[in-house]
Structure 1
Amino acid sequence: MPDRDLVAEDLVFKTARELVHLMVTRQVSAREVLDAHLDQIARVDPAVNAVVTRAPDRARRMAEAADASISRGVALGLLHGLPVLHKDLAATEGMRTTQGSPIFRDAVPTYNTLVVQRLIDAGAVSLGKTNTPEFGTGSQTYNEVFGATRNPYDTATTCGGSSGGAAVALACGMAPIADGSDMAGSLRNPASFCNVVGLRPSIGRVPVWPSPQHHFTLGAHGAMARTVGDVALQMRVIARPDGRAALNAPAVDFSLPLECGVDGARIAWSDTLDGLPVDERITRTLAPAKLLLADLGCRVEDREPDFSGADESFSILRAAYYRQAFKQLYEERRGDLGESTTWEIEQGLALTVDDLGRAELLRSEVYDRLYAFLTEYRFLVAPVTQVPPFDVTEPWPRTVAGVKQTYYREWMRICSRITLAGLPAISVPYGFTAEGHPTGLQIIGRQGDDLGVLRMAAAVEAATGTWRRAPETAL
């Protein structure tokens, strides 16, 4: 009989699709898969602080139900018995959801966010919650409730955010899939920093419910995993219309093959996404990707899109959201709010009707230019981040490529500009800097072409194999 520790290690780094196949064919039980991941969390998480709430008893009941179902010859769904971790912003019925805030330190919701419920309905086993900055504010995962989450490839550095705990947990084999959300890059940034995959879908592709603003289009729920195929598996479950959500995109068949559709694609390569400062370590690491894309049969051209007005528009619309979502907490519990959240709310409180009108006009102009740009090109490819992972004790980088940053999310504009345009975008592992820090490639597609983005990412993934490099922290 093989050594149990070796078997457990093998299980936690298998893909989600491999695990589901093993469970439904009764080669391994859901309970064995669960125990392997629980052991991995117990062994590795003290070094990285990614999983902030654990629910082992609940998970064991769910795994046992999956095994009982298989014994009757019935799989629970596409995610049968698959361990999953939920971002601590997503409401989980009967499981603590703090949102990274001391105000909600002991909050236990009575319902599940739609994404969470869909994962469970598809047979997934809920393990617990992953760390996030307060209310998802920023791309450095730390808060007063749980502290900082560390990058498993270099624990002196940040994992990014705001889905930072999810990215670390995936990289370390604590779960094969995780849910996340993205407004200014919160799925893409930590995916890049942690050598995993993060997809921000098209507007309405994954319905958001409940929401304080049903028609708000900057925030999106999406999927994270170690591989593109596992992200596609998760999208098959969470990306379906739901009438409770005001924004719904037409259904897409994410079961279609990913190994096609990129040969001959015309790609615009952007080093700076219209003039943003980018650390030379990022530029140097990603430079060979242009040749790789050409080797895949793509036609690659250097071309910078025009994002004039995008930063102003995004800042106004985000601040308006914070004003509506958190004004009451600001009035009643201001002393319990973090610096970045407070700053964002106060930016919102200073807005005028004219500001909002200008923001919407600028956004429309950005979208029109990007629509024309992407009729000429199938994909826009750029860095995911402007800097590599930075010191975990720093809230945000104060300079990027020698350029001073004046507010906490200024260094995230290479993602937030894409958010404003409402386009599907993915971070796929590409390479490592000389210092050993992961660096992702951002692939941006036409509105609604989430499947095309996944196919392009799958081609890059297959050509590089970068995702297979696990952090020593987790081994």
Structure 2
Amino acid sequence: MPADELTSLSATELAARIRRKSVSAREVLEAHLARIERVNPTVNAIVTLVPEQARAWAKAADERQARGEPLGPLHGLPVAHKDLVDTAGIRTTKGSLLYKDNVPTTDALIVQRIRSAGAITLGKTNTPEFGAGSNTFNAVFGATKNGFNLQKTVGGSSGGAACALNCNLLPIADGSDTGGSLRNPGAWNNIVGFRPSPGRVPDDDGSWSPLSTSGPMARSVEDVALFLSAIAGVHAPDPSSLSDDPAGFRRPLAANMKGKRIAWFTNMGGLPFEPEITRVLNANRQAFIDMGCIVEDAEPDFSGVDEAFPALRHLTYHTGYAKLSRDNPSLFKDTVKWEIAEAERQGAVDVARANARQAQMYRHVSQFFAKYDAYVCPVTQVEPFDITTEYPTTVAGVTMPTYIDWMRSAWYVTFMQCPAISVPAGFSANGLPVGAQIVGKPRGDWALLQLAHAFEQATGHGKQRPVF
């Protein structure tokens, strides 16, 4: 099978073919390495490549299969890891010159689980410096370009991962999300980015905050669910981790959506949106109706989130990077230094108030989803912007005071502490992809994946890929 045809197959289909022995893990890897060699120099999605290590792992995978040993759900699938997560023996830069030569000695928990499930690591995907912002560029590797328009950003901070999927360089890729980092790049690369419920995919970074989580990215909801089955599951050192059997995410997704109650966004508490974003998303309302859903204009109460979310976000940057920033101020970009300074400026009362609003929000959301099965809103407030623009300073004529304000449609949803998925919703008049953000009930990851799969199948928006 020609390499480009092989790399265009879904992760689910690739995994099935490898199990049937109609193709080997080594053949799948070589097809993806050839695609990377041809396309990646144009987009700069994969920034560290370890082909010889990957070949050794693929050979070992084929030998395990030949011996009849049990195979994991991701057996033989190539994967690259976000350059924020540690990978033993493989450079991990965090997009920072401070770590440009850093080679960890241990794998992060998510990498351990992916490898245990049989996937073959071939490298690392690009990310902004320390994951700050939704334009993937850094001083180590430069910028990642959008396959649909090389002058535009891929979003971030999982931008390299999303671009690699969109360009068929990988069948699956891991990412992480605090303010939209799985969802924004998902929307802007016409792929699927899933932010699972807090605790669904546990982390080993010592943080128990529900604001940040790792999660799966792929080209379809089915592939995301397959990937989730390998990285979800209880982790004893993480008290927030969920104990549901992750194998359940490998069940068939098809389900009847008749009678499902959908809350459709109005303006998310008064957020500005570019007209093309709302036009494209609203054009999909009929698809839910045609599936048998009951669609009503309704949304949660987002008042106070503008103050509460940043207050808690600032703390994460201060905890991780305050000392490094003081010791190496010239090697930190201004947005990261701003996060640290804001953490030091705010007081204990500000943090207490933010925590109280977080608890209140969860109670409110639980009541909201007693009536509705899902909430649909835009992933982003703007289309992909020029790659030379660090971040938008205005949206629809409204000034954005900080580098994260233009992303509120994503981090408002983060604050809901519910599972949320970005699914392709069509293209703007400029030919740029737009995503639908579907939010599920607290811990209702499976029902959300079923609804997103039904929408994906009904519309087919996610089939379009860039041409190189």
Q: TM-score range by the shorter chain?
A: over 0.9
Instruction: After superposition, give the CA deviation of every residue in 1:107-127 in whole Å (9 maximum; x if it has no partner).
Output: 001111111110101110001
In structure 2, the residue matched to 1:228 is: 221
Structure 2 residue 85 is matched with structure 1 residue 87: no
1:348 aligns with 2:348: no
Aligned partners of 2:305 and 2:256: how far apart in 1?
30
In structure 2, the residue corresponding to 1:191 is in which secondary structure?
helix
Provide the residue aligned with 2:304 in structure 1: 309
Matching residue within 173, 176, 185 for 1:178: 173
Task: Supply the distance in 2 between the matched residues of 1:410 and 1:239 (Cα, whole angstroms).
Answer: 31
Deviation for aligned residue 1:328: 1.1
> 2:228 and 2:387 mapped to 1: Cα distance?
31
Rounded Cα–Cα distance in structure 2 between residues aligned with 1:438 and 1:117 = 33
Residue 332 of structure 1, CA deviation: 1.1
Q: 2: distance between equivalents of 1:338 and 1:76?
A: 44
Is contact 1:428-1:442 (8 Å) kept?
Answer: yes
Aligned-partner residue type, residue 324 of structure 1? T
1:75 shift after superposition: 4.8
> Residue by residue, what CA displacement relative to the aligned partner does 1:127-172 show, whole Å, maximum 9, x if unpaired?
1000000111011101111111011111100000000000000001
Give the counterpart of 1:239 among 216, 232, 237: 232
Name the residue aligned to 1:389: 384
CA distance in 1, matches of 2:237, 2:86: 16
Cα deviation per residue 1:388-416 (whole Å; 9 max; x = unaligned)? 10000000011111111111010111110
Moved more, 287-296 or 158-167: 287-296
**Alpha-carbon distance in 2 for matches of 1:458, 1:424:** 15
Calculate the TM-score normalised by the size of structure 1.
0.96
Corresponding residue for residue 330 of structure 1: 325
Moved more, 378-387 or 264-273: 264-273
Q: Assess if the C-alpha contact under 8 Å between 1:308 and 1:366 holds in 2.
A: no
Task: Report what 2:258 is aligned to.
Answer: 263
2:180 is the alignment partner of 1:188: no
SS state at 1:254 partner: helix
CA separation in 2, counterparts of 1:318 and 1:214? 12
- Decide whether the 8 Å contact of 2:166 with 2:190 is kept in 1: yes
Partner of 2:42: 47
Confirm or deny: 8 A CA contact 2:299 2:375 kept in the other structure: no
Q: Which runs of 5+ in 1 are unaligned?
A: none
Matched, 1:219 2:204: no
Residue equivalent to 1:99: 94
Pair 1:250-2:243 in alignment? yes
Q: Contact 1:197–1:225 (CA<8 Å) still a contact in 2?
A: yes
Hey, what's the Cα distance between the residues in 1 that align with 2:67 and 2:21? 11
* Equivalence for 2:150: 155
> Which whole-Å CA distance do the structure 2 matches of 1:311 and 1:451 have between them?
29
Counterpart of 2:103 in structure 1 is 108
Cα displacement (A) at 1:324: 1.2
Q: Determine if the alignment matches structure 1 residue 73 to structure 2 residue 68.
A: yes
Q: CA deviation at 1:261?
A: 4.9
Q: Does 1:423 align with 2:418?
A: yes
User: Matches of 1:181 and 1:273 in 2, distance apart?
Assistant: 24
| 8 Å Cα contact 1:261-1:452 kept in structure 2 | no
Letter matched to residue 338 of structure 1? K
- Please state how far the C-alpha of 1:29 moved relative to its aligned partner: 1.2
Shift >4 Å, 4+ stretches: none
- Work out the CA distance in 2 between the residues paired with 1:19 and 1:406: 46
Comparing 421-430 and 161-170, the one that deviates more: 421-430
Scaled by the length of structure 2, the TM-score of the pair is: 0.98
Is 1:125 aligned to residue 120 of structure 2?
yes
Structure 1 partner of 2:272: 277
Aligned to 1:36: 31
Sequence identity percentage: 47
Please say which of residues 328-337 and 248-257 is displaced more in the overlay.
Answer: 248-257
The CA distance in 1 between the partners of 2:190 and 2:87, in whole Å, is 27
The Cα of 1:20 is off from its aligned counterpart by 1.0
Between stretches 317-326 and 156-165, larger displacement belongs to: 317-326
Give the distance between the partners of 1:420 and 1:292, measured in 2 at CA. Answer: 27
What amino acid is the match of 2:129?
E
Q: How does 1:371-386 map to 2 (within 5 A)?
A: 371-386=366-381
Q: Which one is further off, 248-257 or 455-464?
A: 248-257
Cα deviation digits, residues 27-66 of structure 1 (max 9, x gap): 1111110011001111001111100000100100011011
Kindly indicate whether the alpha-carbon contact (under 8 Å) linking 1:271 and 1:383 is maintained by their aligned counterparts in 2. Answer: no
Runs (5+) with no aligned partner, structure 2: none
Structure 1 residue 24: Cα displacement: 1.3
- Aligned partner of residue 328 in structure 2, secondary structure: helix
Contact map agreement 1:133 1:140 (CA 8 A) in 2: yes
Q: How many residues align?
A: 466
